[in-house]
Amino acid sequence: MLPTSTATRSSRRRVLGIDPGLARFGWAVLEDSAPPKMVAADCLLTAAGQPEAHRLGQLFRALSAIIRRFRPQVMAVEELYVTKNISTVVAVGQARGVALAVAAMTRTPVVGFSPTAVKQAVTGYGRADKRQVARMVTLLLKLKRQPRLDDVADAMAVAWCGLPGVVLR
C-alpha cells in the first residue's frame, strides 16, 4: 500500500478509483484538496488456482473493508474495454460487478469512465500507453515514486477523473 496519510476521516471529498480485474484489482483513494492528494492505493490479488466464487468473495470483502476505512464520497470505476479475449472480458466484468455491488451495499455513489476518457484526462491523449499514464499520475499527484503496478496507476487515474473539476473530453 502507498499511504500518504493515516487519517481515515476527512471533511474533504474522497474518491475511490477502481481498475477492476479478477487476478489484479487496483484501487486508489484520492482526496480533493489543492492540489489533489493520494491517500492510499494498492492492488488486491487473487490466486488463479482458487474457485472463481472464492476469488470474487475475497474482492468483495477487501473492497468493503477499504470503503469502511477510507469512507469515500464517490467510487469511480473504469468501464469495460471489450477485447478479442472473451474470458478476460468476463473476468473483468465480474470484478467490476463486485465493485458495483459493494458500492450499492455501502450507498456509495458510482461514476464510470471509459479507458479512453481516463487516458485523455490524465495524459491529454486517449490512446496513451501504461507508462504514460503511470508517469502522469506521478506528476499530477506529486508522488515521490511512480506506482510499481499498472493496476494501481490506472486506479489512480480513474480516481483522478472522479475529482470535481476534472474535464473529460
| Cell numbers representing residue 50 in the block | 482458487
CA gap 62, 16 in Å, rounded = 13
Give residue 84's pLDDT band: very low, low, confident or very high (50, 70, 90).
confident
On whether residue 7 sits in a domain, the answer given is: no
Percent of the chain whose predicted confidence (pLDDT) is above 90: 83
On whether residue 40 sits in a domain, the answer given is: yes
In sign, the C-alpha dihedral spanning 59, 153, 12, 111 is: negative
Which residues are annotated as catalytic? 19, 78, 151
Print the domain residue range for 128: 14-161
The pLDDT assigned to 54 comes to 98
On whether residue 152 sits in a domain, the answer given is: yes
Q: Furthest-apart CA pair in the chain: how many Å?
A: 44
Give ∠ CA 18-151-32 in degrees, rounded to 5: 45
User: Would you say how long the chain is, in residues?
Assistant: 169
Summarize the confidence of residues 117-146 as an average pLDDT: 97
On whether residue 142 sits in a domain, the answer given is: yes
Summarize the confidence of residues 30-40 as an average pLDDT: 95
Element (H, E) at 54: helix 52-70
Count of domains in the chain? 1
Summarize the confidence of residues 142-162 as an average pLDDT: 97
Q: Can you give the CATH number for the domain in which 77 is found?
A: 3.30.420.10
Residue 128 has pLDDT above 50, yes or no: yes
Give ∠ CA 151-153-157 in degrees, rounded to 5: 115
